[in-house]
Structures are given as structure tokens and as C-alpha cells.
Chain A
């Protein structure tokens, strides 16, 4: 079995290699099977893939009463050939294993990976290798190698494969060594010691698409459902499963199944693709065109030589520009102008694609500044301090308005806005500024091992006061109205102080809570260096002081940062009080912090490494890898390993999770700076936990810097 296990290692390597976009392929499908992974069969895997970047959520259900099983699967086509899935299952009818926690319904998480190592050819099938439930409790664990060939213009697809684990449990034809039982550590660790070991069985199936909307499938399943049969959850009468599927729309599909001659099941699949926004290019209002100067007007410097005319022209230009920018969702922050040059600092409220904010501002400048001003510089302000500055020759704006955006990118010089941060006159509304908002909030805890969904809902009021350049006082107060987040019980004592595992206590209070109340200063101490100091009630659970520095040149792929925090735990009622650092299981250290490296690796992948001391005083590192799309979508995973053993950490062995960021602009079809990030993480434990501070530096400036800024340059002229 050496060759097969090295195949699995090859898969890990192939994950990081770039691959070209898949062409129209009859074995590409948006349909998923009962496990929620791409494929037109039922229980069995195929060599089919989803369109690149496809994200699907499948909820499937089979059985009834106490024996009902529900699987919710999030599946992502990470690369044209590589698919990763996360599944949360509620399995009914199983008898708890002696020595393990008891349950009536077993809530289980599982991860799958599949990699297509061979695309379909005229005479040969597509072939994939995959791991099902490859880490964790192994309840669904199985590995496979599968081949699928399409016929009749893709209407017919024939699949045959070999399976191990669950997929080798019915009608085995041989075996490759012995398969271990039990799992590594406290679960959650890839169970490489059992992959492709034990009994092997053959499986196969046929899917048929008579019309675009309708599909049928029949399969011979190599899964004997051993544990379910043993525990009396179901009868396995036949290895034959049947399915029918219906596509209600591009986004929505339904399927119904007949399973092992005894049960029926159904599923619903919702798909979306980061590459399919509501409207390509967006529907935000058209920009004002560039106003072209006449040849002789550009030479007229008369206004700048006479002090009186200079003052009135400058004031008038500033007023016109501010009014034009206001219509574009941009605030003029500060400005300076001489006979040949102008510099403006702007606060961009609208454009998620920062190149578009540059493009709109540059055009407004052509419509408001004296003709002699040839060099236009625009600085994006973030957190009250300058980030990227873009300098445009005005004649190039005139000349390239109807050329490809790339031509304008080549005519543009990017630099650190700090260089231009002198001699400015602030716009009257720039400082001080006061912002507030009142909105409902929803705090969710999903896919908990005890309960699929818990939530608190209520009202949240936020306010922020910018009183000097880079300085802000900010606060947020919430009132819970309904919720059951406090119902989760903290896990048993571990060898660590309770730094996060008692989070439920913080959801218990019915009085108003201060979510954060801080004084923050953002600064630019040197070229390419950004700084932050935040003091006060930093987050729901901790108060203290947090300091951060970041080195990130505008055009660099690499950023380096360091953060140090002094913390004291807050009272459970989240008002002004603090509580003892001694939690009964240990003492919460006052100091924690990290050094971080951020790298845009190209090909749309972004990596982050944080090394340091975590909240509980444990030392270790967090690795994160995200696929980042030019439009702001980001899908990735992270894992933290510290010097805490699996046994001390508890279930899951170490902290890990998935995160998805969806830019609102993608769903709304119009420019919008907001986005929403959802993190699915393993159980809240005390090992590998970090402080949550508002507005960490890198995330705030990343979109204003290259490479992400230039990736979105196509929107400069939009």
C-alpha cells in the first residue's frame, strides 16, 4: 500500500500548486450527493467536480423518529481539481461507545477532501482520489479511488471505484493491512494511520440527465452501515440505492433517495459562486467623465501668483471637489494645492474596490481644479491616518479614459501616503467627527457538539468620536432580548486557566453590556510602518491595553507585524468591573502577544503565520491559508497548535476552523465597503485562544495596498 499512501502525500503537495481554470467539462456539476459533496450519485463518491470556486450548502435527511440522520455540508471547490467539505451531522439511533460521552443524537463534525488527478479524455475516464471524514471521530471515515466516464454529451455518467473504511465494508474483495480503530489524541487530528488500510470493496453507479432540470441515479453501495445495523438504527436490505434530482434554479436543487432497500431520504442544495456576483461590474451610478482641458488653459498659472486670487481659487476648488466627492460616497478630508500640483486625502465610504475610489476622485479633480494643476495625488485615509497614495499625471487621465484600465495603472505611481501628509488644510468636517448607529444584533453559536444552533439576539448601540488625527474614542453597548447562548455548559476542567471556555457566563446577564469601550490611537511612526494602541474595555471578556506595529510597504506582498497585550478579565456582567485572574484551574497571565507574517502568495492565495503567547499563557503558532478573490471574497482555514497536549486541550485536540468573508457588494450588485465574515471553529477551549481587539492593522489596510489594490484596478474607470 506504499503507492497509495504516497498518493495521499502527493495530494497535499498538489493543493498548493496553481492550476488553470477548468474548461467546459461534462463531469462538472453543481449537484451534490447525500454527503453534500459534488457528484450525481447518492452515497458513493464520483470523479465529478463542481465549477471552480463553487460553494454549496447541502442539507440531507434520512430515516425517521429517533433514527433520523441529518447532514449539513458546506463544500468548496478550492481549485478546479480540489474539493474540500465540512459536515455537521446529527446521527440518530446510535448507541454510545462505552467510555465516551453519552448522547441520544450524536452530533459529529467531519471533513472531506477529494482531488481529481486525471481529467477525462476521449477514451479514458476522469479519476479522483478522496478522503471522507479524514480527521476527528471517524464515524464516516472512508477513502476511495474512483473513475467516472461521461457518454452521450454528458447525459450519462458511469462511475466505478474502490473504497476503504466505510466504503470497503460491504462485499469486500480483499484487504490492505489492518485498519486501526479509535482516534488520535482527542480527535480532530488527521487519522493518517488508517487511510487506505483494511478491507477494500468495489462500488459503482450510473447517473442519467434526460433534461437539464431532471436527473436519475442508481448505485451499488459498498457501505454496509455496520454500526447503524448493529445499533438497530436501520436495516440494510440491499446494496442498491436510487435517486432522483430536480434543479429548481441555478442556485437551488432538490433530491430524493431510496436507500439500502429500507429507507428514504431527501436533500436540498443551495449553491453560490464567488465569481457570480449579482451584477458583473456592479450597478452603482456612472462616474462623471474626465473633463479635458484645452491646450492653452493648462499653461495659465495666473491664479497661483496673486495671493488673493490664489486663496479664492483654492477655496472654490476645494468646495467644488468636496461637493462632487460627496455624491460619490467619498469625503474630502484634507487638501493642498500649488500651481502645478494638488494633493487630497479622502475617506472612502463606498468603494470596496479601492481602485474605484481612486478613479472617482481623480475624475472629480479633473472637474474642479485649475487647469494648470498637472500632478494629482490622492491618499486613502484609514483609521484617520494615511495609507496608500496614488499619483496621476492629469494629462494621462485625459488621454487614457477610454483605454484599458491597465494602461492607467502603468501611468499611476503608488507610494506611502505618509510622504504627502504635510502642509494640508483640513476640510471643515474632517475633525472632530461623531458617528453612531443603533441596530439589532444576532450572536450565533453553530455546530456545537451538544446543540446545532444557539443564539442571542438584542439591540446594539455603537458610537465613535474622532477628535484628533488618528485618535478615536469608541464604544458599543448591547442589550440582550432573547437567547439561549448561556445554556451551553463549560467543558470539564483542563490544566489551563479558563480564558475562553467559560464564555457562556458572559451570555447570562440580562442587563446592558459594554461590548467594548476604548481609546485608540493609530499612527504612522515611519515610512511603511503603521501603529495602533488601544486601551480600555477591549472586548467582551477582557480589558487592558493592546499595542501593535505593522511593516507593510504599499507594493509589497509581505507584511510583518507584532502585537503585545496586557489584559485583565472582565466581570461576567460586562459592565465596568474586573474579576480575579485566578479561575480555579489556573491564573490568567497578564501578558500575551504575537509576531505575525502576512503573505500574498499569488494565484489568489493568502497565508498568515502568527507565533507567540496565547491568552492562557501557552506558546505556539497559528497558520491560516485563504483563497482570496479579487472581488473581496475569501474562503480559508486556520489551525493553532500550542505547547498544550491534546489531553489538556480536550475534544478536538487543537483549535482550528474555517472562515468565509462575503463582500456585500457581491450580493447587492452595487459598490459597498461592508463585508461579513463567518467563522466556523472548533469548540471554544482555552488552548490557542487569542484576544479579540477591534481594527487590527493588517486587515484595515490590506485592501488599500498591493497586490489586492491592483487586482481590482479594472474598476478604476468604472
Chain B
């Protein structure tokens, strides 16, 4: 069973929201109607902080090994420092060049040749991204400039597109041996600047142009996510 640690849902309720919910009569009760119990569980969640601790490196690597044994599908290890989550995801579906990876508790990432294009249930999710220009340069391990577009939902659930100008340059090569991966990789660095923020994505790309490991920006609230291919 693949599980993410609880901190994702931590720190979510601030005082104003709790007051609004309690003050407006979100009261416990019992019912047979679908979804009727959902609200009370969350109120408890807001009041009692989760006791789950971030897991140790040993636990994570045991989980990764188990996942590799259980499936023939591709497996990735992801880590989201902003919420102290490390977990394993396995490939669920392929749509053209897009691969969707997910966990058993239904969080997912969509990658195009290893480049992040979407997330779901991570919080402040990346809804979609235009990465064609950047992906062409990064896969080819070539320096150059690319424009990319990220789309997120704002607090009203409206789509907000963020346009970034990115400078791509290459670094040195190194040997990578993780899980079932054993390859020579080239470091590619992408420095992006937009109206409100700037960040750096870092990729390790193999000789075939596949991104095997990366640290990529997800959203302003969640920051960057690290993705390591294990197969």
C-alpha cells in the first residue's frame, strides 16, 4: 500500500475558515445520504493535527523496492519539500506523449518524457502546461530559450495562465544508478522568469533524451517537486 504522509492536509485550516465553518452551523450528525458524513470528518481534521511523521529514508526505499516488484509499469519516486512528503507513484495511463502516474490514495502527476505538465490532489495543482519548446531543448540537451505556459486554478476556481521565459543551459555529465536505472546523464538547467516570480528547473537527461531525474516548479504555493525515475 502506497501512502503519502499526512502533512499535505496539515496547516490548511486557518482561524477565519474554522470560525466561518463552525459559526455557520457545520454540525455533526448522522445520515444515510451520500456524502453526508464528509464535512464532520474534515472539521475533526482541522482541529486535531495529524500525528504522522515524515518517513525515514529506509521506509521510502523499502516502499520503492516493493513497488518495483509488484508492477511492470514505470515507477517514480517523488518528493515535495514544502509539505514534507516523499512517496512512490506508478504509471497508470498513457495518452499520447503524456504519462500519468499516481498513488493508491489518488494523487497524481502527468509527465511528458519526464517533464511535469500536470498534478492532481497535491494542492494548488498545476492544471496543464505548454512545455513543447522547453522539452525539445532539454531532451536534446541543447542551450537555448523557450517560452512556457503554466495553468493553475485561482481561489475562485478560475484558470490562471502564467507565462514564463526560460533560459536553458547544459551542465556536466554524471553516472546515475537508482532503482533499475543505470545511465550516463547530462545536467540541464532551465532558469525561468515571469511577471511575479522566477525559479530554476533542473533535469538529468539520458543519452536517449529521457528525463530520469528532475526538480521542477509546480506552483507558487507548493514550490518545486523532485521526481526520480526508478525504472
Contacts and interface: CB of A to CB of B under 8 A. Distances in A.
Decide if A and B are genuine partners.
yes
A434 B151 CA distance: 42
A716 to B, nearest CB: 10
B71 interface: no
Contacts of B14: 249-251
Interface in B74-108: 92-96, 98, 100, 102, 105-108
Interface string A662-688: 101011111011101010000000000
B15 to A, nearest CB: 5
A252 interface: yes
A285 interface: yes
A631 B156 contact: yes
Contact of A664 (B16, B21, B152): B21
Grouping DSSP codes into helix (H, G, I), strand (E, B) and loop, the A interface class, with mixed when no group exceeds half, is: loop
Contacts of B127: 281, 404-405, 714, 717-718
A699 interface: no
Given A398-B95, A715-B157, A331 B16 contact: no
Interface stretch (B29-37, B49-57, B185-193, B199-207): B29-37
B12 A669 contact: yes
Given A402-B110, A630-B158, A252 B24 contact: no
Interface stretch (A438-446, A509-517, A573-581): A438-446
Nearest to A668: B42
Task: Name the residue among A270, A278, A440, A441 with the largest chain B CB count within 10 angstroms.
Answer: A278
B17 A667 contact: yes
Given A276-B155, A402-B128, A438-B30, A292 B12 contact: no
A401 B35 contact: no
B30 to A, nearest CB: 5
B156 A401 contact: no
Nearest to A464: B33
B8 interface: yes
Contacts of B24: 662, 676, 678
Contacts of B170: none
Given A278-B12, A436-B31, A442 B25 contact: yes
Contacts of B19: 270
B152 to A, nearest CB: 7
Contacts of A279: 12, 123-124
B38 interface: yes
A275 B100 contact: no
Contacts of B118: 402
A715 B151 CA distance: 12
B221 to A, nearest CB: 7
B102 A286 contact: yes
A631 B157 contact: yes
A285 B31 CA distance: 23
A331 B34 contact: yes
A278 B13 contact: yes
A536 interface: no
B128 A289 contact: no
Interface in A289-346: 289-292, 329, 331
B221 A287 contact: no
B154 interface: yes
Grouping DSSP codes into helix (H, G, I), strand (E, B) and loop, the B interface class, with mixed when no group exceeds half, is: mixed
A659 interface: no
A598 interface: no
A394 B151 CA distance: 23
B31 A283 contact: no
A353 interface: yes
A595 interface: no
Contact of B39 (A278, A630, A672, A717): A672
A36 interface: no
B30 A291 contact: no
Interface string A228-257: 000000000000000000000111100000
B9 interface: yes
Contact of B28 (A249, A439, A630): A439
Contact of A329 (B13, B34, B39, B121): B34
Contacts of A674: 39
Nearest to B117: A402
Nearest to B31: A437
A436 B32 contact: yes
Contacts of B28: 439-440
Interface string B118-140: 10110111011000000000000
B105 to A, nearest CB: 7
B39 A668 contact: yes
B146 to A, nearest CB: 18
B147 to A, nearest CB: 15
Contacts of B36: 437
B154 A275 contact: yes
Given A285-B105, A349-B35, A676 B25 contact: yes
B66 interface: no
B73 interface: no
Contacts of B30: 437-439
Contact of A630 (B18, B112, B124, B157): B157
A292 B42 CA distance: 35
B106 A285 contact: yes
A441 B29 CA distance: 10
A712 interface: yes
Contacts of A668: 21, 38-39, 42
B161 A664 contact: no
Contacts of A274: 155-156
Contacts of A669: 9, 12-13, 42, 123
Nearest to A673: B35
Given A278-B12, A285-B105, A440 B27 contact: yes
Interface in A430-455: 434-442
A287 B8 CA distance: 18
B110 A281 contact: no
Interface in A366-413: 398, 401-406
9 contacts: A252-B15, A286-B102, A287-B120, A329-B35, A402-B118, A404-B151, A670-B38, A672-B35, A714-B159
Give the top 6 A-B pairs by smallest Cβ distance, nearest first.
Answer: A439-B29, A437-B31, A285-B106, A286-B120, A251-B16, A676-B24
Given A281-B153, A437-B36, A668-B38, 20 more contacts: A250-B14, A251-B17, A270-B16, A275-B156, A278-B13, A279-B123, A283-B9, A285-B105, A329-B35, A350-B35, A436-B32, A439-B30, A440-B27, A630-B157, A667-B21, A668-B42, A669-B13, A669-B42, A674-B39, A676-B26
